Amino acid sequence: MNDTIKPLPSLKAMAEKKLDGIGKQTIYKIDPRLVKVRPGHNGRIRNAGLRAHIDTMKVSMRTAGTAAFPPIDVEVEDGEIWLVDGECRTTAAVELMDEGHDQLYLEARQWRGSEDERTAHMLTSNQGRRFNGLELGHIYLRLRRMGWSIQKICARNGMSDTHVHQMIMLAESPLELQKLLEDERVGTDAAVAAIQKYGMKRALELLRGMVEQNGGKKKITKTAVLGRPFSRATVNDVVGSLDTFYNRLSEQQRSELSTLLENNEAELGDKTITLPAACLKGLIDARHKVEAERQKHMKKDAKANKKATAGATPVDDESFEIADLCKG
């Protein structure tokens, strides 16, 4: 008798033998027209960006079919197939067939879980067109209303609690501000920065005015709200000049300054104090560097505006990259 154990020929055979480290998941083929979508389940905003994403998927499906696309996730309830993840893929396939394309099938996995897990599943299954800030905010808010803590959401999505709080803040913002975000007139970072700096009411007024000023042709960015940040070298020079200024003061001058500045601005009036010129030189030099960098920023902005006016697409400081158009 030959006691030699033959090697298993496939992953399927290994999974059926229940070898350690090998699992099996059944993949089905589904007519996408059989898949139903729960109203409001998908966290995506229906805007021009989403439409362009679906149209790009349709081009790929039209030329290469659906084989390159990962499976959608579905669940079965009372004999009906409901979508859990993959609405863009499903929509693209259905639209193509409605336009006369041959029968298409999508690979599908059966998903099982509770309502809150189904919602949370979107956070980790989304690998194509990434959710923008407002979309994430509404998903986070939905989970909060289902009893999830901020910490549990962070653990699921791998994000900080600051990020989760900020996105929920956008989801709870006035509808007018949400509309500016939905229409991609205002970037997520810009909205957060404006709210944090000016408060919700003033931020909405500011962002509305900026959109009206440029006619909605250019997305408002964080840089547009806060201005361009100064370089690390310039900031270091300013900080260094302040240290130099203070260190060059004598103990008597520091005491005189401290006593004088205890008064409020009205009480200071025309009071003066004599300081060595060497103390002030560093401050003046740092001021010149700040102004030089500010002028550089202004020239760069003017050049960018000229290109945008000529029809070039302006560069946005916030983008949600499509890592793989076959996923989403």
Q: pLDDT by residue for the chain (328 residues), tens digit each?
A: 555 667 877 677 777 777 778 777 788 999 999 999 988 777 788 888 899 999 999 999 999 999 889 999 999 999 999 999 999 999 999 999 999 999 999 999 999 889 899 889 888 876 567 889 999 999 999 999 999 999 999 999 899 999 999 999 999 999 999 999 999 999 999 999 999 999 999 999 999 999 998 887 889 999 888 877 777 888 888 888 888 888 888 888 888 888 887 877 777 777 777 877 877 887 888 888 888 877 887 787 677 666 655 554 443 433 333 233 344 5
**Structure tokens, 185:** 């007139």
**DSSP assignment of 131-143, as one string?**
--HHHHHHHHHHH
CATH of domain 115-172: 1.10.10
Q: Are 118 and 42 in contact (CB under 8 A)?
A: no
**Structure tokens, 86:** 């993959």
CB atoms within 10 A of CB 23: 9
**Structure tokens, 25:** 């998941």
Q: Are 124 and 154 in contact (CB under 8 A)?
A: no
Q: Is the pTM of this model over 0.85?
A: no
pLDDT for the residue 211:
93
pLDDT for the residue 144:
96
Give the separation between CA 313 and CA 308, rounded to whole angstroms: 6
Q: Are 154 and 188 in contact (CB under 8 A)?
A: no
pLDDT for the residue 5:
67
- The domain ranges of the chain are 22-112, 115-172, 179-228, 230-262+274-294
Main-chain dihedrals φ then ψ at residue 86, nearest 5 degrees: 115, 30
Q: Is 122 helix (H, G, I), strand (E, B) or coil?
A: helix
> Can you name the CATH fold of 22-112?
3.90.1530
pLDDT for the residue 155:
93
pLDDT for the residue 128:
67
Buried/exposed 272-290: b ≥16 CB within 10 Å, e otherwise: eeeeeeebeebeeebeebe
Give, for 77, the enclosing helix (H) or strand (E): strand 72-77
pLDDT for the residue 323:
30
